[in-house]
Amino acid sequence: MKLDKIKSLDDLKREKDRLHMESEICLAALSHRSGTLRKEVRKFVVGKVAIPLGIAGLIGIFWGKDNKSEKKEDGQNDSSGFLKTLMPFLIPIAKDFITNTILENEKETSEAA
């Protein structure tokens, strides 16, 4: 119903009720989407970041204990070994993040059009 077609108090009340219903529907959809997004972020962080980094950290700790006696000539520990341990975990995480970001941007662009 357009604004210029409201000619009586009853028309105004019907339009108000319709707008109230639309706002309730939009609010429900938004809260559902934010809940879904929260679950997706938690699943990604735990599955793709926290667990692999925890495993890599444990490997690095145990591997560091084994190599503790091995020092560089200048007396410093070799920290590149830990980074080499993390790389197999970090590369797929970065790849998934970039791919998901690109896909979400393309999806939003196609929905906006």
Q: Containing domain of residue 34, as a range?
A: 7-112
**Sequence-ordered list of residues with C-beta below 8 angstroms from that of 96, at least 6 positions apart, any chain:** 44, 48
Confidence of residue 109 (pLDDT cuts 50, 70, 90): confident
The CA–CA distances, whole Å, from 24 to 19, 34, 53, 65 equal 9, 15, 42, 59
Task: Report pLDDT digits (tens) over 13-30.
Answer: 988 999 999 999 888 888
Examine residue 28 and state whether it is found in any structural domain, yes or no.
yes
The candidate with the shortest Cα–Cα distance to 76, out of 84, 68, 65, is 68
Radius of gyration of the chain from its Cα atoms, rounded to whole angstroms: 27
The residue that leads in pLDDT, 93 or 34, is 93
Task: Report pLDDT digits (tens) over 50-93.
Answer: 887 888 777 777 777 655 555 554 455 556 667 777 778 788 88
**Sequence-ordered list of residues with C-beta below 8 angstroms from that of 51, at least 6 positions apart, any chain:** none
Examine residue 2 and state whether it is found in any structural domain, yes or no.
no
Examine residue 1 and state whether it is found in any structural domain, yes or no.
no
Examine residue 36 and state whether it is found in any structural domain, yes or no.
yes
The pLDDT of residue 21 is 92
Overall average pLDDT of the 4-19 stretch: 86
Domains in the chain, number: 1
Examine residue 107 and state whether it is found in any structural domain, yes or no.
yes
